Structure 1
Amino acid sequence: MTGGGTAVAAMILGALGAATALVRVYSALNQLSDLESRSRIPVFGDMVTPPSTGAYAITIAWLIAEITTAALLGTGVAQLLRRRRRGQTVMVIGCGWAVLAFAIGMYVMVELTPVRTVPIVATTVLLVFPLTTLVLAALPSTGRWCRS
């Protein structure tokens, strides 16, 4: 029987990733609310342009991507906890999906927020966590732990 260190680490990072995806769901909902309020409030001198349909579409895509990320990572953690081999696959897919959701979220934050204060370099460092989780979940030792 193997120790399962990589699997346990992948489960911990996956659970944290699912939790942060849920926080980002809240951020996406907040962004949608902000877009909606900007489209309804008349501004003196018309200094604020109403958001385009594309802004809504990309924000909704971000929301769906984050919900899917939370579901995939949560399912992967639960399956790995039960030592199911498919948990390893779901975790790898969830981590790849998390990177995609991160990219969409960064686009939304950079392009759609009125104030350009998003620290892109510092935020990109956060990609280390899903990529580390992906590597840990994909390692052969995690698969051996699932089979044992």
Structure 2
Amino acid sequence: MADDDSSPRIIRRHPTGEIPVGQEPQTSIIRRHPTGANPVVDPPTQVTDVGPTQLSDQSDLQTGYIPRARPMAVSPRQPAPASPKTAITTAVMSILAGWATAVIATDLITGWWRSDPLFCVAVGFLTAISAAALIAGLIGLLLRRRLSRLLIVVGSVVALLIFSSLFVAGAKLPAVVYAIPVFPVATIVLAALPATGRWERSG
């Protein structure tokens, strides 16, 4: 049978692959691959240890904080040691004042015992008080005891009273006897000095 020229001829061709691959739509996103298989991480920042003084100074400068001054223990100044010179001089003068008082009292008692025994008893009583006060004050001053100066002053005042009794009795005295009150007066002045007080309080 002869071929019919009027029938169309269909040529079938297989596609280039099993599934036709279409073109991807074009976008404006640009994709870039990383520089390596794993992303490169920057090395850790090295921390430098700064001393506490430097850090505190920097922070103080930044914040404007002025640190408070720290209190410091200050040892009290030691006072100068008390000098014993005035105390020794006071002790010597009190001994002389007691001796002078005993001399005057003995002279009065022996001279006026027959005529006025009551007066002699009063003089003896005052002499005992003066001697007790001067001896106690003298020992207390050397031992740096309280009230020692007061006892010395009391004993010296009583000694002056005994000396004034000579004028009450109207006795005739030698010129040397009038110098005896110098000892109790000097004892009172020396006992009242601040240096003697410092010696007394130093104990």
Using the size of structure 2 for normalisation, the TM-score is 0.54
The AA in structure 2 aligned to 1:144 is R
Shift of 1:61: 1.4
Root-mean-square deviation (CA), in Å?
A: 2.0
Structure of larger gyration radius: 2
Tell which has more relative contact order, 1 or 2 (C-alpha 8 A, sep 6+).
1
User: Does 1:89 pair with 2:150?
Assistant: yes
The AA in structure 2 aligned to 1:79 is G
**Count of matched residue pairs:** 122
Aligned to 1:44: none
Aligned to 2:191: 137
Shift of 1:96: 1.1
| Cα contact 1:29–1:63 (8 A) shared by 2 | yes
Q: Which moved more, 1:81-90 or 1:22-31?
A: 22-31
Q: What is the CA–CA distance in structure 2 between the aligned matches of 1:74 and 1:105, rounded to whole Å?
A: 24
Q: Which has more helix, going by share of residues?
A: 1
Q: What is the CA–CA distance in structure 1 between the aligned matches of 2:98 and 2:181, rounded to whole Å?
A: 14
2:180 match: secondary structure: helix
Question: Could you tell me the percent identity over the aligned residues?
Answer: 30
Shift of 1:132: 0.5
Q: What is the CA–CA distance in structure 1 between the aligned matches of 2:159 and 2:102, rounded to whole Å?
A: 12
Aligned to 1:78: 139
Aligned to 2:83: 3
Distance 1:143 1:17, change over 3 A: same
Shift of 1:90: 0.5
Aligned to 2:161: 100
Shift of 1:142: 0.5
| Cα contact 2:144–2:199 (8 A) shared by 1 | yes
Using the size of structure 1 for normalisation, the TM-score is 0.72
Shift of 1:109: 5.8
The AA in structure 1 aligned to 2:191 is A
Q: What is the CA–CA distance in structure 1 between the aligned matches of 2:148 and 2:165, rounded to whole Å?
A: 25
Cα deviation code 1:89-138 (max 9, x no counterpart) = 1011111111111111343361xxxxx4x23x542222111100100001
Tell me, which stretches of 5 or more residues in structure 1 are unaligned? 36-50, 111-115
Distance 1:22 1:126, change over 3 A: closer
